[in-house]
Amino acid sequence: MFRVQTLVILSALALSGGALAGCSYEKPGPPVEQPVGLTLDAPRVSVIDAGRGEKRVLEFKDIDSEQKLDYSFAQGFQQDLFNSTAAAAFKASSVDDPKVTLPLQASVEAASEAVEGQLPATRNAFVTSGVPTYSGEEDLSSAEGFQFGWRAEDSGQMSSLRLAAPQGASDNARQVVEQAVTQLSSFPVVFPTEEIGEGARWTVDSRVAGESTLLQTTTYTLNSLEGDKAQLGVSVQQRPSLGALSFEGTAQGTELADKELKVLDSHTESTGELSIDLTQPLPVEGSVAFDTKVIYGTDDSDLRVVQSTNTALDFAPAAS
């Protein structure tokens, strides 16, 4: 089931009419609450291989562009108690992961001057969601008109994220859509500042908040490049940010009661490919899926705590 990420509101952006400025649509959407802004940690980008042939610096050049696409997100989290044999055999992909699909309309304009507390940026992206669809039992239609946006550099590195939920959105609809949106900021397509060519490989290291905070390394491979169109291969590795899990005051009646469990194993399986148009702010097509299993335990017990997370992001041209 979906779990809500805890978002620390760092600043409130008072924008005209309570909406994110910068978009114009065929009809006005539902009124939204006052937007909130979140600063984002800068990921570390490292080039493994600069590639072959003609090389150039890849940058987004999407100012004044508009984009329509369908974005789908699914994530499941589960914590189980197994013996060591069962823990080793359990597959993270077995976790239930209901999917939400957001029809998005995006536009980009040149970034405004940074105000106090903001990092410099070259681009402001503004996005509005249509009626969400959901494979779970809840009705998310009240989240129609959810708005979000970000400030970013031409490389794709985001520095802040803004969220504005419709005033009439139910708590659950708001939470599910918010999680789908914030996952985008946890999975940015960021290009190196160095020149690269076909076959280039680079990593983007970032932190992902959720039920269990994870450190994430995304490896991109430039499979092909034609003009502004890039085909990227994507692989993901995740590992816990903390080396131990405290069971103080919990697991009473078991061998793990009140103990601190260390990480015994962490493993991620992933697949992914994305089509990028440098004149558009979001991937135009493709998908990325990754399943992470972390096993915690102690040397004096055969019991294991297994935390499993599976995540999938899909991008497709707008259905209509």
- Which tens digit of pLDDT belongs to each residue from 277-295? 999 999 999 999 999 999 9
pLDDT per position as a tens digit, 90-103: 988 777 788 999 99
Can you tell me the distance from the alpha carbon of 236 to that of 217, in angstroms, rounded to the nearest whole number? 6
Count of other CB atoms within 10 angstroms of residue 70: 17
Residue 4 has pLDDT above 50, yes or no: no
Tokens linked to 304: 């294991």
pLDDT digits (tens, 9 = 90+) for 219-272: 999 999 999 999 999 999 999 888 888 877 666 667 777 788 999 999 999 999
What pLDDT band is residue 27 in, cutting at 50, 70 and 90? low
pTM of the model: 0.86
Per-residue pLDDT band for 112 (boundaries 50, 70, 90) equals confident
- Confidence grade of residue 2 (pLDDT, cut at 50, 70, 90): very low
Q: Which two tokens stand for residue 272?
A: 């992914």
* Least confident piece of the model among 9-18, 203-212, 253-262, 304-313: 9-18
CA 93 – CA 116 distance, rounded (Å) = 44
Q: Region 180-200: what's the mean pLDDT? A: 93
Specify the pLDDT at position 211: 63
Q: What is the Cα–Cα distance from 220 to 190, expressed in whole angstroms?
A: 9
Q: DSSP string spanning 195-240?
A: -EEET-EEEEEEEE-SSS-EEEEEEEEEEEEETTEEEEEEEEEEEE
* CB neighbour list of residue 199: distance below 8 Å, 6 or more residues apart: 49, 51, 52, 221, 222, 223
At residue 250, the pLDDT reads 67
Q: Which H or E element spans position 183? A: helix 171-186
Region 76-82 average pLDDT:
90
Determine phi and psi for 143, rounding to 5 degrees.
-90, 5
> Two tokens at 130?
């249509």
pLDDT value, residue 24? 41
Whether 152 shows a pLDDT value over 60: the answer reads: yes
Provide the mean pLDDT of the chain. Answer: 86
Mean pLDDT of 71-78: 92
Q: Which two tokens stand for residue 46?
A: 């490292």
Report how far residue 12's alpha carbon sits from residue 162's, in angstroms, rounded to the nearest whole number. Answer: 9
